[in-house]
Amino acid sequence: MSTTPNDPEDELAGTEQPFVAHLIELRDRLIRSIIAIGVVAAVLAVFPGPSALYDLLAAPLVAHLPKGATLIATSVISPFVVPLKIMLMAAFLLALPVVLYQVWAFVAPGLYSHEKRLVLPLVVSSTILFFLGVAFCYFFVFGRVFTFIQSFAPKSITAAPDIEAYLSFVLTMFLAFGAAFEVPIVVVVLARMGIVPVEKLKQYRGYFVVVAFIVAAVITPPDVVSQLALAIPMCLLYEAGIWAAQIFVKHTKAPEEEGEAAKP
């Protein structure tokens, strides 16, 4: 039976293969990402090992505990499960460049040249900023927070934090500071997509300061040090985002946008 040009079967002809090909490519790139994480996890399991990784993560707290005090495990399987979770988290973070490259390689063929100029710098810079946020939290914030907390601890109390509770605290802080350091990326995207013009972003400075301190008060522990350590960088990064947005918008315009801008 012949088909007319408007026949639904004719319209769908030949669409299955490309869709299946995309699914196969997506599967392959997911497998490569998982393999990358698995390889890094295997290396970390051999050196330095899950226990050493947890000791490294716990070092900022242990350094501020009373002499002779250590962390404790209140669950039977915690000494095994918690270091394993730390190892997997570290493996994912170390393999993140490979994972993001697989994501980029999957979506890049469907993007225009000006969109590639937009997406690739954002992927790279957002990854770097997230790592910077985690590093800032580990090397700067933890020491100040634990010092501040221990200064208020009564002499009659011997601090012995649970390792699972400490892991939960660390992950929360890492995510909070990693996400906070993404503020410039959010500002650039808002400006580039035309959702909020740069001039409006400048006018919203005062509102953002209030929002930053509210977010810091909600996310971080109830101490002044960690709240200021989160809110102040957010405000500075907001200013950096406005500066970056002005440059980014100028250099990632679509061809039709550049043509319209050139018209008198």
What pLDDT score was predicted for residue 11? 45
Please name the amino acid found at residue 252: T
Q: Which tokens is 4 given? A: 């007319």
**Helix, strand, or coil (residue 62):** helix
Please name the amino acid found at residue 168: S
What pLDDT score was predicted for residue 14? 47
**pLDDT band (50, 70, 90) for residue 6:** low
Cis omega (within 30 of 0) for bond into 48 = yes
CA distance 187 to 202: 11
Cα angle, residue 21 at apex, residues 15 and 23 outer, rounded to 5°: 105
127: buried, middle or exposed (CB in 10 Å: 19+, 13-18, 0-12)?
Answer: middle
Q: Which tokens is 92 given? A: 């994912």
**Residue 154: HSE in the Cβ half-sphere, 13 Å Cα cutoff:** 2
CA distance 20 to 29: 14
What pLDDT score was predicted for residue 64? 81
Lowest mean pLDDT among 79-83, 202-206, 260-264: 260-264
**Residue 28: HSE in the Cβ half-sphere, 13 Å Cα cutoff:** 8
Alpha-carbon Rg of the chain, whole angstroms?
Answer: 24
What pLDDT score was predicted for residue 248? 78
Per the prediction, the chain carries an average pLDDT of 83
Share of the chain above pLDDT 90, in %: 35
Which has the higher per-residue pLDDT, 98 or 6?
98
Condensed to tens digits (0 to 9), the pLDDT of residues 205-242 reads: 899 999 999 999 888 877 788 889 999 999 999 999 99
What pLDDT score was predicted for residue 16? 53
Secondary structure in 3-state letters for 93-155:
HHCHHHHHHHHHHHHHHHCCHHHHHHHHHHHHHHHHHHHHHHHHHHHHHHHHHHHHHHHHCCC
Condensed to tens digits (0 to 9), the pLDDT of residues 37-64 reads: 999 999 999 989 999 999 999 998 888 8
CA distance 98 to 33: 7
Condensed to tens digits (0 to 9), the pLDDT of residues 126-180 reads: 889 999 999 999 999 998 888 888 777 777 777 778 899 899 999 989 999 999 9
262 has a pLDDT exceeding 50 = no
**pLDDT band (50, 70, 90) for residue 8:** very low
What pLDDT score was predicted for residue 254? 55
β-pair partners for 72: 162
**DSSP letter assigned to residue 72:** B
Share of the chain above pLDDT 70, in %: 88
CA distance 134 to 94: 13
